[in-house]
Chains A and B, each alone.
Chain A
Amino acid sequence: MKTTHKMFIGLFALLMMYAVSANADNNSATNVSSVIQQSKEQSVQIVTACDGKKKVIVEGYKEGEPMPEHKAREVAKLLTALMDYCEEEITAKIPETEIAIQLSINGDPFISVTAIEELPLVLVHGGKPHTEREKRIWSAELNRMIDTGYKIFHDPTLGTNGISCDMCHPNASNTHPETYPKFQTQTKKAALLRDMINWCIENPQEGKKLSDDDPRMKALEAYIISERTGVILEPGKH
């Protein structure tokens, strides 16, 4: 994490050098494709990342012409994002007028990407990106667990008296799963989230508690944690 951070800073510094001194480094452009050659004849600057494999063609700025800060920042952000492609050779174009970024991977034809945030996500695992199939499975399995939890959370049959979890905890309010383990006054001892789920089942809901490895318990935890992730804890307000 630290290394990555340093690398980004280094990269950004490199960029700023380009932007401020506007000295295009001709040596860095040893392996440029015909696209780049063609671009060179127009009004463009080519910025190359430290690995020599990622290039950003910035249209609308001549070699040597300083870029405004926002543009330089955009280029830096894009190059940083491109570093996620590890060993791949990437050429990106930031057109002068269009909003979309043009991206070419390993010499493939350019494709259009609407924003830096929209770059096709390539996670790295064993040096290889995960496949789309894998990502679909992970997403489906995760969502199914959370959805199952959502259903149980809203189902009064977890207890016996017609009360479901959501009746006191809409959107899992006041569950703040991130605060466990903690001493819980109801149980008079340190408790985990699942202990309090069972406490609620047995007390307000007058039901029979679930075992720790009951798939319903796991699903409830999955729903609660996913629903509350990112919600700020405000002591005294829950």
Chain B
Amino acid sequence: MSIRKCRQDRETKNESLSGLNRREFLKTAVATGTIATGAGVFLNYAQSIAQQVEVKHGTNRFTFAYISDSHLLDRGREHRFAKSLIKAVKDVNALEPQPDFVLYGGDLAQLGLRDELSLGKDIIAELKPKLYMMVGEHDWYYDMGDVWREFFGKPTYSFNHKGIHFIVLNSVVVEDYWSGPKMAPMERMLFMAQLDNPKGRPFTVGEEQRKWLSDDLSGVEKHIPIVVFSHSPLYKYYKAWNFWADDAEQVQKLLSPFKTVTVIHGHTHQVLTNKIKNIAFHGMMSTAWPWPYAPEGIPKLTVQMDRPDPFNQFDGTGWGIVDTLHDGNVNKTYKLWDRNPMIVSYDKVSTGRELVPGPSY
């Protein structure tokens, strides 16, 4: 497509933009203060793609937002990671209309300390929409989730919302490596906190939760769309960095009878898209920092985000929104603070065509 043709397309589509989408965009842009002319054009174009998708898959039922992987340190609200989470909370609160709810995707804390979790709890308490919490390994392995559960309740649960069945898992379960060598809590934590630690253990959902999942799903009719929230990706991407679930196949099998399944996962801090049989997988961005892509195993569907500038803590980081379509499939928007958003529509995921029509900057 020539540049001229491309521009014509955009102009045509901009005319048909729904007022709702435009309002949302403006509100967000004002709230975050990151509006740029070029970005606006691209966002509009991207949203027009979403509109096209709606034709195929039905209109947007509802939208939820996510914030994930904030990795807060016990260094107060002025620390860069805290500032990022606060920024995400403000962005979500500025959305109009408000999303139906917000998912927190895990790794609120960096080292699982009470003060870290407490700081995070205070910040996300400022969110206006209803909040669903999910646990990550950084929240868990200092005290095996004691403080996290005290603050946020059970890590494994399900709920129904507007005809969709949502499941939240603790998918960072690993075999006991700490009792034998009598590790101190922080030692145990650091084993899991270091990504390139060859001594770390692979994540699982685990037998207990798989049993729970099986029971939970037994009461759900197969045509009901399922959305699973999991901190670790529920597929095998790159074991050395624990971008991995050791029992992924078993979990996928439990989900296989359902017509429409979407997994939204954290942990990988990157734009990541995958589809395995009936299940679409979407990674969540981190508010704290982006991980590089692994040297192998990147799913073919993923259009990689180009390398962020480490000078800018808001490059390659952000939050996201998920538009749940009428048929239960989702369009996912990566809200990258100092870049254009990236939209991964279900249409593109299902056809495997190139997901993003241009560069992300």
Answer whether A and B touch in the complex at a CB cut-off of 8 Å.
yes
Hey, which bits of chain A sit against chain B, CB under 8 A? 154, 161-163, 166-171, 173-174, 186, 200, 203-204, 231, 236-238
Bound-complex Cα distance A163 to B79 (A): 11
> Chain A contacts of B80 at CB under 8 A?
161
Q: Is the CB of A238 within 8 A of B196?
A: no
Query: What's the nearest-Cβ distance from chain A to residue B16, in Å?
Result: 34
Q: What would be 25 A-B contacts, judged by CB atoms less than 8 Å apart?
A: A161-B79, A161-B80, A162-B73, A162-B75, A162-B79, A162-B81, A163-B289, A166-B194, A168-B289, A168-B291, A170-B196, A171-B196, A171-B240, A171-B241, A171-B295, A173-B292, A173-B295, A186-B309, A186-B310, A186-B311, A200-B310, A203-B311, A204-B310, A204-B313, A236-B306
Query: What's the nearest-Cβ distance from chain A to residue B264, in Å?
Result: 23
Q: Is the CB of B75 within 8 A of A166?
A: no
Q: Is the CB of B79 within 8 A of A174?
A: no
> Chain B contacts of A161 at CB under 8 A?
73, 75, 79-80
Closest residue to A171 on the B side, CB-wise?
Answer: B196
Q: Is the CB of B306 within 8 A of A170?
A: no
Bound-complex Cα distance A40 to B313 (A): 76
Identify which of B73, B81, B241 contacts A170 (C-beta below 8 A): B241
Q: Is the CB of B195 within 8 A of A166?
A: yes
Bound-complex Cα distance A168 to B80 (A): 15
Binary contact readout B75-101 vs A (1 if CB under 8 angstroms, 0 otherwise): 100011100000000000000000000
Q: Is the CB of A237 within 8 A of B311?
A: no
Residue B60 interfacial (CB < 8 Å):
no
> Chain A contacts of B252 at CB under 8 A?
none
Residue B293 interfacial (CB < 8 Å):
yes
Closest residue to A169 on the B side, CB-wise?
Answer: B292
Binary contact readout B305-324 vs A (1 if CB under 8 angstroms, 0 otherwise): 01101110100000000000
Bound-complex Cα distance A238 to B306 (A): 8
Name A's interface SS: loop
Bound-complex Cα distance A169 to B80 (A): 18
Closest residue to A234 on the B side, CB-wise?
Answer: B295
Q: Is the CB of A170 within 8 A of B110?
A: no
A237-B293, A238-B307 provided; 13 other pairs, C-beta below 8 A?
Answer: A161-B80, A162-B75, A163-B289, A168-B289, A170-B195, A170-B291, A171-B196, A171-B241, A174-B307, A186-B309, A186-B310, A204-B310, A231-B295
Known: A174-B307, A236-B306. A168 touches B295 (CB 8 A): no
Q: Is the CB of A168 within 8 A of B310?
A: yes
Known: A162-B79, A171-B196. A203 touches B310 (CB 8 A): yes
Hey, which bits of chain B sit against chain A, CB under 8 A? 73, 75, 79-81, 110, 194-196, 240-241, 289-293, 295, 304, 306-307, 309-311, 313
Bound-complex Cα distance A204 to B293 (A): 19
> Chain B contacts of A163 at CB under 8 A?
289
Identify which of A154, A170, A186, A236 contacts B292 (C-beta below 8 A): A170
Query: What's the nearest-Cβ distance from chain A to residue B318, in Å?
Result: 16
The 5 closest A-B pairs by CB, nearest first: A170-B196, A162-B73, A173-B292, A170-B195, A171-B196
Query: What's the nearest-Cβ distance from chain A to residue B44, in Å?
Result: 27
Known: A154-B194, A161-B80, A200-B310. A168 touches B75 (CB 8 A): no
> Chain B contacts of A169 at CB under 8 A?
292
> Chain A contacts of B295 at CB under 8 A?
171, 173, 231
Query: What's the nearest-Cβ distance from chain B to residue A184, in Å?
Result: 11
Q: Is the CB of B304 within 8 A of A237?
A: yes
Query: What's the nearest-Cβ distance from chain B to residue A155, in Å?
Result: 11
> Chain B contacts of A170 at CB under 8 A?
195-196, 241, 291-292
> Chain B contacts of A167 at CB under 8 A?
195, 289
Query: What's the nearest-Cβ distance from chain A to residue B224, in Å?
Result: 38
Closest residue to A170 on the B side, CB-wise?
Answer: B196
Closest residue to B313 on the A side, CB-wise?
Answer: A204
Bound-complex Cα distance A57 to B313 (A): 67
> Chain B contacts of A171 at CB under 8 A?
196, 240-241, 295
